[in-house]
């Protein structure tokens, strides 16, 4: 059991959270390119030098926001899958439940979704620190596929496959398929999920789709069928 935090530690944690909350509000108002530590400090009634004691640079603040967002969407995906499994859902039903959870999070946190999957921030390169958090959501999808493979599901033989060398050993090892054909399909499915959500959030379906939620369910279910779930 960890020792209780001191008053100073609690105060630091609270102010760190306040800085991140202010930055998220700025993301919604002005976008990541105009986010600044100076503006965050001004909103919180702090001098800018004080903010630098919590985040050494704007890049450090971006990294903290990105990790929080990845953990948030990853947590939603994991929770949706756990609840579906408790209900005895099939792999296809689990895939749909997780896909819906990701979409719902994106709709409620559009600017954080854009921070993760939108246009890269000029001059910013995400450090290795973000990897573990970033993997949570896609690994939930991989877990569904691995469970299906373990239960006897096979990648549909009549579907196009990809050359094994297109994928790194690390990625291929996540999916229980030595041929890597299924790994390729999972990567396609994951990128397709993000793409459909992006199209909805950024207005690409305007004048094309009349019911976004229904169309999303169709795409998620069609993807599950393509995976053989």
What are the per-10-residue average pLDDT scores of the chain (229 residues)?
Answer: 70 86 89 85 86 88 94 97 96 97 96 90 87 92 89 72 72 69 82 96 94 97 90
For residue 112, the model assigns a pLDDT of 93
Q: Where on the phi/psi map is residue 122: left (φ > 0), alpha (ψ -120 to 50), or beta?
A: beta
For residue 209, the model assigns a pLDDT of 95
Q: Cβ neighbours of residue 22 under 8 Å, at least 6 residues apart?
A: 40, 43, 44
For residue 219, the model assigns a pLDDT of 96
What are the structural domains, with CATH classification, of the chain? 1-56 (1.10.10), 66-226 (1.10.357.10)
For residue 10, the model assigns a pLDDT of 81
What is the model's pTM?
Answer: 0.89
């Amino acid at each position: 059991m960890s020792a209780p935090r001191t008053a100073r530690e609690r105060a630091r944690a609270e102010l760190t959270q306040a800085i991140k909350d202010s930055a998220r509000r700025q993301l919604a108002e002005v976008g990541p390119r105009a986010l600044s530590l100076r503006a965050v400090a001004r909103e919180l009634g702090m001098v800018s030098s004080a903010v630098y004691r919590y985040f050494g640079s704007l890049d450090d603040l971006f990294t903290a926001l990105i990790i929080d967002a990845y953990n948030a969407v990853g947590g939603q995906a994991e929770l949706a899958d756990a609840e579906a499994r408790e209900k005895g859902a099939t792999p296809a039903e689990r895939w749909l439940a997780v896909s819906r959870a990701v979409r719902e999070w994106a709709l409620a946190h559009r600017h954080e979704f854009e921070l993760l999957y939108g246009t890269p921030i000029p001059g910013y390169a995400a450090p290795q620190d973000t990897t573990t958090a970033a993997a949570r959501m896609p690994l939930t999808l991989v877990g569904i596929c691995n469970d299906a493979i373990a239960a006897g599901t096979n990648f549909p033989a009549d579907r196009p496959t990809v050359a094994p060398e297109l994928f790194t050993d690390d990625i291929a090892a996540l999916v229980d398929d030595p041929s890597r054909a299924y790994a390729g399909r999972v990567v396609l499915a994951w990128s397709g999920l993000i793409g459909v959500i992006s199209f909805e959030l950024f207005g690409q379906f305007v004048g094309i789709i009349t019911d976004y939620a229904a169309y999303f369910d169709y795409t998620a279910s069609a993807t599950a069928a393509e995976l053989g779930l």
